[in-house]
Structures are given as C-alpha cells and as structure tokens.
Amino acid sequence: MANSSTALSALADPTRREVFERLASGSASVGEIASQLPVSRPAVSQHLKVLKEAGLVLDRAEGTRRVYRIDPAGLGAIRAWLDQFWAVALDAFKAEVEGGDIAIRKTGKHK
C-alpha cells in the first residue's frame, strides 16, 4: 500500500495526473493512454512506473502488452491523510454553526 507522501508526490506531476485520470475511466495499455495524451509511449511508460512504485496503479500482462488500472488500495493512503483534515474541518464547521445558532437565538442577530 502507498504512503500518502509518496502517492501525493507521484500525483504532483501534471502529466502523471492526466495518466491517472485516464485510468479512472478504466484499464488501458501504454499505447491507449499515449494516444490520448500529447506525450510519447516511453514517457507514458515512465509515468506509469512512478505511479506503480507509489502504489497507485496495478498492471497485468495481456499477451505482449501490459494493461494498467488504478489500485483502489493505493488511494487509501491519500484518503486517510485527507480524512484527518476533513474531520477537523467538519468539527470546526459544526462548532461555528452551533455557536452561531446560540448567538442568533440570544440576540436575534447573526455574528
């Protein structure tokens, strides 16, 4: 499984994000991905290697080609990292809303 730092670093590159986003719509070979992007097949292969090493994609052999797909488990590290901030943001929002409701009831005015 990927760690969040490695996964986020891998997705920091715009072309790599495009490759990853392409795989969100389904499995694809290097050639299929390269035909949809303004980069060469070797460049796509290199980006896929980085994504694979980061735990974000899986590959399998299909005849003479490799087919890549997103690894849902790899996204878990990013999600877990983001969830810690999401929980804090929701708690802060809840406190603000609840505090605001009390102030409105007491004064009849918004903060």
Number of domain units in the chain: 1
What does the mean pLDDT of the chain come to? 88
- Asked whether residue 48 is assigned to any structural domain, the reply reads yes
pLDDT of residue 60: 97
Phi and psi angles of residue 70, each rounded to the nearest 5 degrees, phi first: -70, 140
List the CATH number of the domain containing 39.
1.10.10.10
What mean pLDDT do residues 78-90 have?
A: 87
Cα 26 to chain center, whole Å?
15
Decide if 26 is inside a domain.
Answer: yes
Higher local confidence (pLDDT), 51 or 81: 51
Higher pLDDT, 49 or 107: 49
Boundaries of domain holding 8? 4-73
In a domain, 103, yes or no: no
48-52, 96-100, 104-108: segment of lowest average pLDDT: 104-108
| Strand ordering across the sheet containing 65-70 | 28-29, 65-70, 57-62
3-state secondary structure of 56: coil
pLDDT of residue 64: 93
- Is residue 68 situated within a structural domain? yes
Q: pLDDT of 63-81, one tens digit each?
A: 999 999 999 988 898 898 8
